[in-house]
Amino acid sequence: MASRLARRHATAQESGPLILHAAPIALDARASETRIRTTIIIDTLDFTPLADFPETEVEALLDAAFGTDRRGRTAYRLREGVSAIPGLSFAAVDDYGQLVGSFQSWPVELAGDDGRVVPLVLVGPIAIQPDRQQGGLGRALTRHALAAIDAAGVEATVLIGDPEYYGRFFGYSDAVTGQWRVPGPVEQRRLLARLTGGPALPVSGLLRPRSR
Q: Is residue 52 part of a domain?
A: yes
Residue 2 has pLDDT above 50, yes or no: no
Residues in the chain: 212
Distance in angstroms (rounded) separating the CA atoms of residues 146 and 90: 10
Residue 129 has pLDDT above 90, yes or no: yes
Q: Is residue 2 part of a domain?
A: no
Q: Is residue 18 part of a domain?
A: yes
Q: Which of 37-46, 94-103, 106-115, 163-172 has the lowest mean pLDDT?
A: 37-46
Between 38 and 118, residue with greater pLDDT:
118
pLDDT at 68: 83
pLDDT at 206: 98
Q: Over range 114-128, report the average pLDDT.
A: 96
Q: Over range 27-48, report the average pLDDT.
A: 54
Number of helices (H), then strands (E), belonging to the chain: the values are 4, 13
Q: Is residue 1 part of a domain?
A: no
pLDDT confidence band for 43 (50 / 70 / 90): low
Number of domains into which the chain is organized = 1
- Largest CA-CA distance found in the chain, in angstroms, rounded: 79
Q: Average pLDDT over the chain, rounded to whole?
A: 83
Between 183 and 31, residue with greater pLDDT:
183
Distance in angstroms (rounded) separating the CA atoms of residues 117 and 179: 15
CATH number of the domain where residue 112 is located: 3.40.630.30
pLDDT confidence band for 94 (50 / 70 / 90): very high
Residues of the domain holding 71 = 8-209
Q: Is residue 3 part of a domain?
A: no
Between 6 and 60, residue with greater pLDDT:
60
Q: Is residue 126 part of a domain?
A: yes
Residue 35 has pLDDT above 80, yes or no: no
Q: Is residue 12 part of a domain?
A: yes
pLDDT confidence band for 111 (50 / 70 / 90): very high
Contacts of 43 (CB under 8 A, 6+ apart): 7, 18, 20, 94, 95
